[in-house]
A and B are shown apart, each in its own frame.
Chain A
Amino acid sequence: MTRDQIFTHVTDLMYKLFELETTEIKPESELQKDLDIDSIDAVDLMLELKNLTGEKVSPEAFHEVKTVQDVVITLERLMQERELNLEKTPE
């Protein structure tokens, strides 16, 4: 999945969960300040993102996250880590 695809996935989810127009979600939008996403929402968002990363995203992974772009980069990293793990332990 490319970074653009991840971004689209995240904006679709935010539309579904938070009634945000996809046009108002920009990579530099801050979750709390611009998009009114609180800490409870963030947990719900992480639960939904499980589908993308395959495993539960721990809250710690999102500790430093401030903008939508941060979410996308974090997800990309988690997905890469997952692929590496899968390569290491072939079944």
Chain B
Amino acid sequence: MCKYIDRAWRVAATGFSFAIFGLGGCLLGILILVTLYPSPFDLSRKQRWTRQSISVACWIYVRIMRGLGLLSFSFANPEQLKQPGQLVIANHPTLLDVVFLLSQMPAANCIVKAELWRNPFTAGPVRLAGYLRNDAVLIEQAAAKINGGQTLIIFPEGTRTRPGQAMKFKRGFANIAQLAKCKVTPVIIDCSPPTLQKYQKWYQIPERPPKFTFKVLAPINVGERSDFNRPKTIQVRHLTRLFQTVLQGRPVPKH
């Protein structure tokens, strides 16, 4: 009986927190549009402030979810995420991964699914923040953002991780890292028991509240790892394999 009540409560609270997300996204978009955008500052500054507001909103949002008893979370070495001018890559077990990462990063940029440009709950913030669209990203553009001091989040699998299947990275992130010659910080995300996976409905909640852990690994400097005399396509393949190994929890190979 107790178990039943607990479950019913968590389904209701999950629905409530999704409503907050949608409503919050809308409100944040409108708020930024009417307060920040008419101001005389230049666009890049407005976009940075928007990204900072999103970060704060994410920080509050994950604490609301924790407060409702829906989940718990912990970060190992989160300071590394706050470093400017780097690429942050992570596996992608759940829908909330990016919300957690953004909550720890002051003004991170990310590559966002084109659908979120049209989704009424997210359209405002993602457009105003100057995020990059996954269907129109230029490698040069993304590398320039990193070299200009922004931190970029990419999930190299391009979609949520399919449980039980080997990770298969796309090479876009490696192309960006190779061109930017930047630091790449891998983050291993674990969520147990799993929740909010691909093809799961929001109300299919796990037996007990999931615990999210974020293991932020030491950055790898691509400028030092890559042999720039070899064809770019080969370097990119090597980097892709290197980070695929690292994000599966195996040690960094020595060249």
Contact = CB atoms under 8 A, between A and B. Distances in A.
A40 B171 contact: yes
B170 A38 contact: yes
B176 to A, nearest CB: 10
Interface in B169-193: 170-172, 175
Contacts of B237: 18-19
A12 interface: no
Interface string B116-140: 0000000000000000000000010
A19 B232 CA distance: 12
Nearest to B168: A36
B245 interface: no
B229 to A, nearest CB: 13
Contacts of A41: 171, 233
Contacts of A66: none
A44 B139 CA distance: 13
A16 B231 CA distance: 8
A52 B142 CA distance: 31
A61 interface: no
Contacts of B172: 38, 40
Interface in A38-52: 38, 40-41, 44
Nearest to B233: A17
A20 B65 CA distance: 48
B234 interface: yes
Interface of A: 16-19, 38, 40-41, 44
22 contacts: A16-B231, A17-B231, A17-B233, A17-B234, A18-B233, A18-B234, A18-B237, A19-B234, A19-B237, A38-B170, A38-B171, A38-B172, A40-B139, A40-B171, A40-B172, A40-B175, A40-B236, A41-B171, A41-B233, A44-B231, A44-B232, A44-B233
Question: A-B pairs with the 8 shortest C-beta distances?
Answer: A17-B233, A44-B233, A17-B231, A40-B175, A41-B233, A18-B233, A38-B171, A19-B237
